[in-house]
Chains A and B, each alone.
Chain A
Amino acid sequence: MPFTSNIPSGPLEQKWTRYISEIKLVSPANKRKFQVIVVGTGLAGASASATLGELGYNVKTFCIQDSPRRAHSIAAQGGINAAKNYQGDGDSIWRLFYDTIKGGDFRAREANVYRLAELSVKIIDHCVAQGVPFAREYGGLLANRSFGGALVSRTFYARGQTGQQLLLGAYSSMLRQVRAGKVKLFPRREILDIVIIDGAARGVIARNLVTGELEAHSAHAVILATGGYGNIYFLSTNGMNSNVSAAFRAYKRGAYFANPCFVQIHPTCIPVSGHYQSKLTLMSESLRNDGRVWVPKDPKDKRAPQDIPERDRDYFLERLYPSYGNLVPRDVASRATKLICDQGRGVGPTGYAVYLDLSDAIKRDGKEVIEKKYGNLFEMYEKITGVSPYESPMMIYPAVHYVMGGLWVDYNLMTTIDGLFALGEANFSDHGANRLGASALMQGLADGYFVIPYTLGQYFASHFFPEVTESQKPFEDAKKQVSEFIQRLISIRGKRTVSDFHKNLGSIMWEYAGMERNDQGLQKAREMIKNLREEFWQDLFIPGSVSEFNQTLSKAIRVSDYLEFADLIVEDALNRRESCGCHFNVAFQTPEHEPKRDDENCAYVAAWEYQGIDKPPILHKEPLLFENVKLGIRSYK
């Protein structure tokens, strides 16, 4: 498989339109002869399943939850960006494109990002038609708010539950196709291998999480929409079941993995309160619209926050970044927060927190207005901490939230394995080294509703497909391999629990491959991970058996993949000799503690090819060509 991005020629603005008008099409009669597998039912997976069903393809859709409606896209709070310019504040497709490229610190592909900005307007049209109850103005038209990294209001929202409403829209469209007989659902299934025949992805091995049975499923193409790997850090805002297994096993089968070290740490999460904690909760970035982030000027000031007068507060984001203020992009806000806390100026019982204060907004707009905008977030905060944000400012601290890295894909969203596609957070393509708020929902839906329906058709129309059945040897072999792997895992019979290993791995990753990295720490992490992996395979204990509903076993499989995948994050972080976006290596910084890019040597996508366990992977570089934007210093000052 040649390693090329397959970006269509021609001017940026015309690439996608021209691509659509020139691709080969599959006749309606032939569409029903094709079988597609979609793994994952978040925004990308559900929208792809729905649309492919609408077109007449036969779709088998898999998810790990009991119902496809529960994929973690559901937890996205703030909103979805679209270049509608309904507010007349100067927005345009170009501006959304530029903000996204700049927000990603110039490490994304121009053509992909432009297509994303172009499709953003169609997404809103489609979601409104599906009945998504977006917020509206008194006249009945759609309302917008602003988000980090942008000076326009282009974010559409449904209270603080935008992800939920968009996902339920995609889910209901997908279920409509179940009724039409075009989509078949396989819930409570984990994909543990991709089956490749004659160099092309022709099926998967799924594990039934209720019975433990391994199932073989064949298809003409496989689409992975399996989300991100943030849970490798143990504590993250990801759903507890989100994992890297399907994507990682595709990587082991030959799909290149791109930019794995680009991990986004979200600035506004509820701080860690104890060692028992299982996950962290996000407080939507939209709160930074009306909220002000501060710490006391004097670190020894132990007064209650509401008793500290204005003059004794340090609104550090406003001070450091006067033009964007509290609305700087996530990576910038997270690092500033960490720096303040590392200087011993943080608040709360651990000192690892800062205040996010909405009292000025409450005074300005009244409690009712603020309640309407953020009521559910305030409620959630109060439930978790026992403190009401109406009375006292919230405490926040950064936490792992999203990964920009993912399976390498070309312009068609196809990986380096023929017929294996990756959509949404599972691919690497659109957000560069840092994703802007309200852009994940946009990308997931653009990929599923408006990109894959075309690019998959083009793939089908231009390839020949030999007959494949699930009883063929490659399926039998893959099944046997997975089964032996699981047997090996459950037979360890050691003493330590899987959560214990996961926590251990998480703390290594957070400490050495988190918000700030340095070569020495990364090398240390490499050793620690290797040792932990060895211990895992000697001392893990899994209760119960293989052929039952065994949640510990399912988790152990995921953690075993994380223990290998962690190497790749470290390797990638060590390789990138610059700081950019979320990847911050202390050796590469400006005097103001901002990341210092090296455009001459590092303007590339790092795509890694698997070589075997304990063998270093091979690095392939896809150069990033900027023909339409000027690489500038990413300043929000």
Chain B
Amino acid sequence: MSRTINLTLKVWRQPDYRSQGRFETIEAKDINVDMSFLEMLDVVNENLQLQGKDPIAFDHDCREGICGMCGAVVNGRAHGPLKGTTLCQLHMRHFRDGDLVVIEPFRSKAFPVIKDLVVDRSAFDEIIIAGGYISVNAGSAPEANSIPVPPQNADLAMDAAQCIGCGACVAQCPNGSAMLFVGAKVSHLALLPQGRPEAARRVLGMTKRMKELGFGNCGNERECEAVCPKQISISHIARLNREFFKASFISREV
């Protein structure tokens, strides 16, 4: 039989965007250590409902660490204590009996709270709309193998392309910067020959939109990299900066 533990949760409760939020203390009893963090919240929510209370609202979907929908700041760290792990893949065996667990939403000026732990991250979509794509219409593409890509570039591009758009980087950054998110997309496409024709337009468009949406600038704190569930390296921010300067100095797109 699996081990069980008891925890005290301090959870952020906020009915909607306009209302004031506050912490609520909830006891989580007999938590099986093989549960995921979200399954622990499921159990807590079942109990709250049986008592006629409002369950804790939290976003989630795939529960496999790939959709990027879940996320909360757990004991001060986005997605909790385990490196390279989304909240849904964090299991309770990493907590000890009697632990106090503080759970807050991803906070940022650009991510308004919808309810409890649920935030609005549509600002990320806005940034992609500003240029995070390659302009190609369906049906017009050349034969796939007519564009060879050195595997080391394809690999690096894939490292960046793994970003799940969860927003942990923004939540952890003291400046609320989205540079890791933008860097990952710019870098992914800049590393591929298909992405070069629009590289300048892309980086200028995306960074401009990023600023307009209220995201801060990078202060080299490296907090984003530390909490990124896909462990995306800040070297992609360096590539973003390089692309940005290149575009600003030599492109006609400015």
- Decide yes or no whether A618 CB sits under 8 A from chain B: no
Q: Does A548 contact B (CB under 8 A)?
A: yes
Nearest first, the 10 A-B pairs at minimum CB distance are A140-B148, A172-B133, A129-B141, A133-B158, A125-B141, A239-B61, A70-B67, A128-B144, A449-B138, A133-B157
Note all chain A residues with C-beta closer than 8 A to B176: none
Across the interface, which residues of A come within 8 angstroms of B174, CB to CB? none
Nearest chain A CB to B136 CB, angstrom units: 4
Residues from chain B with Cβ under 8 Å of A139 in the complex: 148
**B195 on interface, CB distance cutoff 8 Å:** yes
Contact A129 B194 (CB under 8 A): yes
Which residues from 318 to 334 on chain A have a C-beta closer than 8 Å to any C-beta of chain B? none
A336 to B134, CA, bound (A): 45
B192 → A minimal CB distance (Å): 5
Nearest residue (CB) in B for A497 is: B49
State whether A173 touches B50 (Cβ < 8 A).
Answer: no
Residue of A nearest to B33 (CB): A386
Q: Does B247 reach chain A (CB closer than 8 Å)?
A: no
Task: Please judge, given known A-B contacts A276-B43, A543-B52, A544-B54, whether A86 and B63 are in contact too, CB under 8 Å.
Answer: no
Residue of B with least CB distance to A64: B61
Q: Nearest chain B CB to A361's CB is how many angstroms away?
A: 21
Once A66-B121, A142-B144 are accepted as A-B contacts, the answer to whether A276 and B32 lie under 8 Å apart by CB is yes
- Interface footprint category on A: 35 or more
Please report which residues of chain B, range 153-175, place their CB below 8 angstroms from some CB of chain A when the two chains form the complex.
154-155, 157-158, 161-162, 164-165
Task: Let me know if B114 is at the binding interface, CB within 8 A.
Answer: yes
A278 touches B69 (CB 8 A): no
Within the complex, which residue of B36, B57, B133 is in contact with A175, where a contact is CB–CB below 8 Å? B133
B-contact bits for A104-119, CB 8 A (1 contact / 0 none): 0000000000000000
Contact A187-B195, Cβ < 8 Å, known A66-B69, A499-B46: no
> Does B64 interact with chain A (Cβ within 8 Å)?
yes
Contact bitstring A591-621, B, C-beta under 8 A = 1, else 0: 0000000000000000000000000000000
Which A residues, 434 to 473, have Cβ-Cβ distances below 8 Å to chain B? 449-450, 453
Are B149 and A136 in contact (CB-based, < 8 A)?
A: yes
- CB neighbours of B250 from chain A (8 A): none
**Is residue A141 contacting chain B, with contact meaning CB distance below 8 A?**
yes
Give the Cβ gap from B78 to chain A, nearest Cβ, in Å: 17
Contact code string B27-45 (vs A, CB < 8 Å = 1, else 0): 0000010111011001100
Whether B38 lies near A125 (C-beta < 8 A) is no
18 contacting pairs across A/B (C-beta < 8 A): A67-B125, A72-B62, A125-B142, A126-B136, A126-B141, A130-B133, A130-B194, A131-B188, A131-B192, A158-B161, A168-B161, A176-B133, A278-B42, A379-B84, A383-B85, A386-B93, A449-B139, A543-B52
Distance, CA A548 to CA B19, complexed state (A): 13
- Tell me which residues from 123 to 150 in chain A have a Cβ below 8 Å from any Cβ of chain B: 124-131, 133-142
- A380 at the B interface (CB under 8 A): yes
**Interface pick from A46-54, A197-205, A400-408:** A46-54
User: Contact: A135 with B130, CB < 8 Å?
Assistant: no
Within 8 A of A (CB), among B37-95: 38-39, 42-43, 46, 48-50, 52-55, 57, 59-69, 82, 84-85, 89-91, 93
A66 touches B59 (CB 8 A): yes
Residues of B within 8 A of A (CB): 2, 15-16, 32, 34-36, 38-39, 42-43, 46, 48-50, 52-55, 57, 59-69, 82, 84-85, 89-91, 93, 114-115, 118, 120-122, 124-125, 128-130, 132-145, 147-151, 154-155, 157-158, 161-162, 164-165, 188-189, 192, 194-195
A323, B174: Cα distance in complex, Å: 59
Bound state CA distance, A109 and B148, in angstroms? Answer: 36
In the complex, are the beta carbons of A124 and B144 less than 8 A apart?
A: yes
Interface presence of A164 (CB below 8 A): yes
Tell me whether A226 is interfacial, beta carbon within 8 Å. Answer: no
Which residues on the B side are within 8 Å of A337 (C-beta)? none
- Tell me how far the C-beta of B49 lies from the nearest C-beta in chain A, rounded to whole angstroms: 5
Partner of B136 from A129, A135, A386 at Cβ < 8 Å: A129
In the complex, what residues of A have CB within 8 A of residue B144's CB?
84, 124-125, 127-128, 142
B64 and A136 form a contact (CB under 8 A): no
CB distance from B24 to the nearest CB of A (A): 15
A544 partner residues in chain B, CB cutoff 8 A: 54
**Interface residue A629 (Cβ < 8 Å from any Cβ of B):** no
Evaluate contact between A131 and B189: CB separation under 8 angstroms: yes
The one of A142, A239, A453, A500 in contact with B145, judged by C-beta atoms closer than 8 angstroms, is A142
Complexed CA–CA distance, A548 and B59 (Å): 15
Assembled-state Cα–Cα distance A185/B55 (Å): 29
Most buried by B among A72, A165, A495, A549: A549
A549 with B145, Cβ < 8 A, contacts A54-B138, A68-B125, A133-B188 known: no
Taking a contact as CB atoms under 8 Å apart, the answer to whether A137 and B151 are in contact is: yes
> For the complex, is A584 an interface residue (Cβ under 8 Å from B)?
no
Task: Give the residue of B39, B134, B138 whose beta carbon is less than 8 angstroms from that of A453.
Answer: B138
A241-277 interface bits toward B, Cβ cutoff 8 Å, 1 = contact, 0 = none: 1000000000000000000000000000000011011
Nearest residue (CB) in B for A68 is B125
A66–B120 touching, CB < 8 Å: yes
Contacting residue for A141 out of B66, B85, B120, B145, CB 8 A: B145
Q: Is A583 an interface residue (CB 8 A)?
A: no
Closest A-chain residue to B47, C-beta based?
A: A497
Kindly list chain B residues whose C-beta atoms are within 8 Å of the C-beta of A178: 129
